[in-house]
Amino acid sequence: MRKYSVHKIFGPTIQGEGGMTGAVCHFIRLSGCNMWDGRAETRATSQCPFCDTDFLSHTLMTAEQIVEELKTLGLVYWVTISGGEPALQVDQPLVDALHDAGYMVAIETNGTKALKAKLDYVTVSPKLPPEQTVLTTCHSLKLVFPHPNPLITPEAFDYICADTRYLQPLDAEEPTATKTNIERVLKQLYKNPQWRMSLQTHKMLGVE
């Protein structure tokens, strides 16, 4: 029976970003990523130097064990699978187990790996240029802006079919720089009104 590398299961909480902002959900945070190994000393030189998510440690769990832990948190409508990069592990048996337990299942992925399961809501947040982003259809497209990689711009991902598109200001971990990034996003939105603003509202609310 397959086991998944689970960093953390928690909830209920509020989804803070993108098209599902404000939705009550549980999170399954999987360990492992193809952009960064999760160690603080390598973050600055990784392909995702702005990542602020702890996903390094893990416990091996079956789908049934994951469902049992979720049940201790209480039933909510949505479960969001994140990482790390969840597409490295998520498969149909895991999603089927979550569906059978009564959950709708969302995923947050960088889009560099094909999905191996049918999910209810897909958020793609590209971390590499278009030629390395293989997912071309999603519910929400979410770009960190300004992205450290100059090839990652709103215009570069026009080819992706998304119900909604969001620009999320880069959290510079310094208030003045973060404010500047918010202002830059606003300027982009006025130029590209098909995009919307996404703020990390979970941080404003003080929830995980």
pLDDT confidence tier of residue 205, bands split at 50, 70 and 90: confident
Mark whether 161 is an active-site residue.
no
3-state secondary structure of 30: strand
Mark whether 202 is an active-site residue.
yes
Q: What is the pLDDT of residues 14-37, one digit of tens each?
A: 999 999 999 999 999 999 888 776
Mark whether 85 is an active-site residue.
no
| Annotated domain spans of the chain | 4-205
User: Are 120 and 102 spatial neighbours (Cβ–Cβ below 8 Å)?
Assistant: no
Q: What is the pLDDT of residues 155-181, one digit of tens each?
A: 999 999 999 999 999 988 788 999 999
Mark whether 25 is an active-site residue.
no
* Per annotation, catalytic residue among 13, 17, 51, 133: 51
CA distances from 118 to 60, 78, 105, 108 (A): 23, 15, 9, 13
Superfamily of domain 4-205: Aldolase class I (3.20.20.70)
